Amino acid sequence: MTRPDFTYETAARALGYARIAGVDEAGRGPLAGPVTAAAVILDPVRIPEGLNDSKQMTEKQRDRLHAKLLEVALVSVAHATVEEIDELNILRASHLAMMRAIAGLPQVPNQVLIDGNLIPRDMTIPARAIVKGDALCLSIAAASIVAKVCRDKVMVDLAQQHPGYGWEHNAGYPTKSHKVAIRNLGVTPHHRRSFKPVYNMLYQA
């Protein structure tokens, strides 16, 4: 299995870009909760060992690397709310969260590497979209870890306010038990009404 490396960042640095931010999001698929984005600028001489696509890692590995990244990298996290997801659509809301994360960095990047095949349309910084970037590019892998860890924490907090949906385990994703809970317990303010299983639950005849 290939591991992410620093090839994209090295190419950008060769073009004169000194501050390169990797950007990724977590939470496009869930039925509940915000979509969360992270932007990370790695220090080339202090890259933590073990960075990988967050989906290939255990929770313990992600937590350890998240803590390490906060020590050695520039990190920013931002969200788009359920209301924004329902109003804009999930792709636009993901891009909104990404733009907020980039804007929150303590230094303005001069090149942005984004996971996926689309660059947010409001982007004014030179940017490159990389399909499967979290598996190919170390800065995006770092952002994927930060976004996943932060969003999971949000969902654990929401689970305490709304017990019974299993958000502390399923992070709001449409698991069978989550869908059963929506049927039995109803729709919370944190459910995405524009997503079909929730919409159908609310508006089925």
Nearest to 24 by CA among 53, 58, 59: 53
Domains delineated in the chain:
7-151 (3.30.420.10)
Collapsing DSSP states into helix, strand and coil, what is residue 201?
A: helix
Query: Could you tell me the CA-to-CA distances from 56 to 3, 43, 73 in Å, in that order?
Result: 10, 23, 21
Across the chain, mean pLDDT equals 96
Contact by Cβ (8 Å): 156, 9:
no
Residues of the chain with pLDDT under 50: 205
Burial 63-92, CB ≥16 within 10 A → b, else e: eebbebbeeebbbbbbbbebebbbeeebee
Q: What is the reported pLDDT for 204?
A: 74
Question: Taking the model in full, what pTM does it have?
Answer: 0.96
Q: What is the reported pLDDT for 165?
A: 98
The rounded distance, in Å, linking the Cα atoms of 122 and 23 is: 15
Give tens-digit pLDDT for 37-80. Answer: 999 999 999 999 999 999 999 999 999 999 999 999 999 999 99
